[in-house]
């Protein structure tokens, strides 16, 4: 069991073999000028432990998850909370939070269900460069 109080930075959990998901992480890394976020793949021991701790299916890898302030946010809500903290005009997209989650998540789920078909998949989890490895858990 992970002591959530010890996690000082928001953590983004992502599907480490999904090209769209990895591309999203790289997008965030380029725009997270203050290095607010930390990252872990859903396939990692850390990721599986967090999923288990919050009662989420550890075999369901189609969600973008944000762990922040000992709370978990999933799908479009997680994505919008991340966007809000990015540098540049990207934070303006947070305005979409006013759209009810059930509508936002339908769009999110449609993309998630087709992500491998549209963007492809790797055989192994993507690994960050040495310069970025301090931002990744495991």
pLDDT at 110: 94
pLDDT of residue 18: 85
Global pTM reads: 0.90
For the structural domain made of 4-135, what CATH number should be given?
Answer: 3.40.30
> Would you kindly state where each structural domain of the chain is located, as residue ranges?
4-135
Q: CB burial class (10 A; 0-12, 13-18, 19+) of residue 39?
A: buried
Per-residue pLDDT of the chain (138 residues; tens, 9 = 90+): 788 888 999 999 998 888 888 899 999 999 998 999 999 999 999 999 999 999 998 777 777 899 999 999 999 999 999 999 998 899 999 999 999 999 999 999 999 889 989 999 887 777 777 888 889 987
Whether the Cβ atoms of residue 118 and residue 20 lie closer than 8 Å to each other: yes
Q: How many CA atoms lie within 13 A of 121 on its CB side?
A: 11
Which of 107, 105, 76 lies closest to 93, judged by CA?
76
């Amino acid at each position: 069991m992970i002591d959530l109080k010890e996690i000082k930075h928001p953590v983004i959990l992502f599907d480490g073999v999904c090209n769209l998901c990895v591309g999203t992480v790289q997008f965030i890394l380029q725009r997270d000028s203050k290095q607010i976020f930390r990252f872990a793949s859903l396939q990692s021991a850390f990721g599986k432990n967090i999923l288990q701790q919050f009662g989420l299916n550890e075999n369901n890898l189609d969600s973008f998850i944000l762990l922040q302030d000992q709370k978990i946010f999933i799908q479009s809500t997680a994505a919008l909370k991340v966007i809000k903290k990015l540098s540049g005009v990207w934070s303006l997209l947070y305005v979409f939070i006013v759209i009810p989650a059930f509508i936002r998540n339908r769009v999110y789920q449609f993309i998630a269900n087709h992500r491998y078909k549209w963007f492809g998949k790797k055989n192994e989890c993507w690994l960050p460069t040495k310069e970025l490895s301090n931002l990744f858990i495991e």
